[in-house]
Amino acid sequence: MSARQSLDRAGSREHRITLAGRTVCLRFAGEALEPVLWPALAHHVSAPEAGPALELLVWDSDSTGIEPPPAPWEGMGFADWSRTQARRMHDVEMHLCGHGTFSLLMRQSATASYWVRSAADVPPWDRAAPFRSLLGMWAEQHGAMLVHGAAIGNGDGALLLTAPGGSGKSTAAVASLLHGLCFLGEDYVLVEPGEPPCVHNLYGTAKLDDAAMARLFVDGMPPGATLDPGPDPVAYDHHKTILLLGETHRAQLARSLDVRAILVPFLSPSRETSVTPLGAAAVLRALAPTTLLQLPGSGPHSLAMLAAIAASVPGHALALGRDPGAVVSALQRLLEGS
């Protein structure tokens, strides 16, 4: 197997983390990819345990000298594919990304691998949310869903915010963090169906564009709060900055909380924020497309899990006003049940 050859040649740098109550062993071949892909998950580091639920091998060809195996799609090499594809064969899930990465999950052996030509080729979305497709496929195997959404909360529970990009959910999640609430994610979280569902933190990152950063700094920053992108900020999609919250706000990154409500946010021209009830069907219409389009290998079983999640807790439409402080106040009232 090429991944193990790369580990043998370049040496293995190992980290063990706990995701959704299960141990994942990350093994980086050499030193090239670790500083690029590890920071978003570093806040999950845990004590070593025997028998991890998943072993994830991470490698590149440029630093290890090991080439990838033959491409699994006939007539297409790893160097020249241009679109994302996913395929399941027996117990093997493959995700070939049009931006130059290849992910492989072998269910029976609980082993996965992630390959990219070089560290310089890692796309910015993989820096912010590394191994997203792999961890999504693995989580579904264990009864959880990778959901495109944000989640914030307090000691009593969480609110799940789901909507397409540009709806304001990231700004609302980061504003909540700055005002002292718990943070479980601003773009991707793991959710287990149940009565109530449980949301698990996945990444210790946030991505904000210049307008959102300015709005938070001008109107939404409570006394003493900080939001520092660091000395070497990473640009995301040319308009956003990746914030490593695991380094600056680790104490507020909750691992898991029960979901109390699902919110469908949208931007309002008003300065104030308002909340109105929303039925389960409307919540599912917001939750399903934005999640399933980003989940390799999704199908009827994935939709059924999302439907169960949408039906199990109250839903609300969240009209996000221009005042970040008012947004957080509305979210706090929902968490307190008033």
What is the residue-wise DSSP string for 203-233? -SEEEEEHHHHHHIIIII--TT------SSP
Render the burial of 125-155: b for 16+ CB within 10 Å, e for the rest.
bbbbbbbbbbbbbbbbeeebbbbbbbbbbbe
- Decide: helix, strand or coil at residue 27: strand
**Confidence at residue 82, expressed as pLDDT on a 0 to 100 scale:** 41
Indicate if the alpha-carbon torsion angle 197, 203, 209, 211 is positive or negative.
positive
Residue range 42-76, pLDDT digits in tens: 999 987 666 789 999 999 999 999 887 766 555 55
Structure tokens at 19: 């995701």
| pLDDT value, residue 80 | 47
Both 108 and 149 in one domain: the answer is: no
CA distance 204 to 43: 7
For the chain, how many structural domains are there in total? 2
> Residue 86: enclosing H or E segment and its boundaries?
strand 85-89
Expressed as residue numbers, the domain containing 199 is: 145-336
Per-residue tens of pLDDT for the chain, all 338 residues: 677 888 888 788 999 999 999 999 999 999 999 999 999 999 999 876 667 899 999 999 999 998 877 665 555 555 544 444 555 554 556 555 556 788 888 877 888 889 998 999 898 889 999 999 889 889 988 899 999 999 999 988 999 999 888 888 999 999 999 899 999 999 999 999 999 999 999 999 998 887 777 777 655 566 656 666 555 555 556 577 888 898 889 999 999 999 999 999 998 888 889 999 999 999 999 999 989 887 766 778 889 999 999 999 999 999 998 888 899 999 999 999 85
Nearest-angstrom CA–CA distance, 161 and 199: 11
Last residue of a domain, one of 102, 120, 141: 141
What is the C-alpha R_g of the chain?
Answer: 20
Residue 87 near residue 72, CB atoms below 8 Å: yes
Cα–Cα distance for residue pair 144/295, rounded to 1 Å: 12
Peptide bond into 35 cis (omega under 30): no
74 and 14 both lie in a single domain: yes
* The pLDDT of residue 229: 59
Q: Find the CATH number of the domain harbouring 317.
A: 3.40.50
| Residues 184, 327 within the same domain | yes
* Angle, in degrees to the nearest 10, between helices 324-336 and 169-178: 80
Q: Which of 81, 116, 141 is the last residue of a domain?
A: 141
> Are both 135 and 155 inside the same structural domain?
no
Residues 108 and 236 occupy one common structural domain: no
Both 283 and 269 in one domain: the answer is yes
pLDDT for the residue 124: 86
d(CA 330, CA 87): 43
Instruction: Write the CB contacts of 134 (distance below 8 Å, at least 6 apart in sequence).
Output: 56, 95, 103, 104, 105, 112, 114
* Same-domain check for residues 295 and 267: yes
| Predicted local distance difference test score (pLDDT) of residue 95 | 57
Q: pTM of the full predicted structure? A: 0.90
* Predicted pLDDT of residue 224: 59
Helices 132-141 + 300-312 axis angle, to 10: 80
DSSP state of 117: S
Do 124 and 157 fall into the same domain?
no
In eight-state DSSP terms, residue 326 is H
* 230 backbone dihedrals φ, ψ, rounded to 5°: 90, 170
Nearest to 317 by CA among 253, 269, 273: 273
User: Which of 141, 169, 192 marks a domain boundary?
Assistant: 141
The Cα 145–Cα 137 span in angstroms is: 8
Residues 76 and 212 in one domain: no
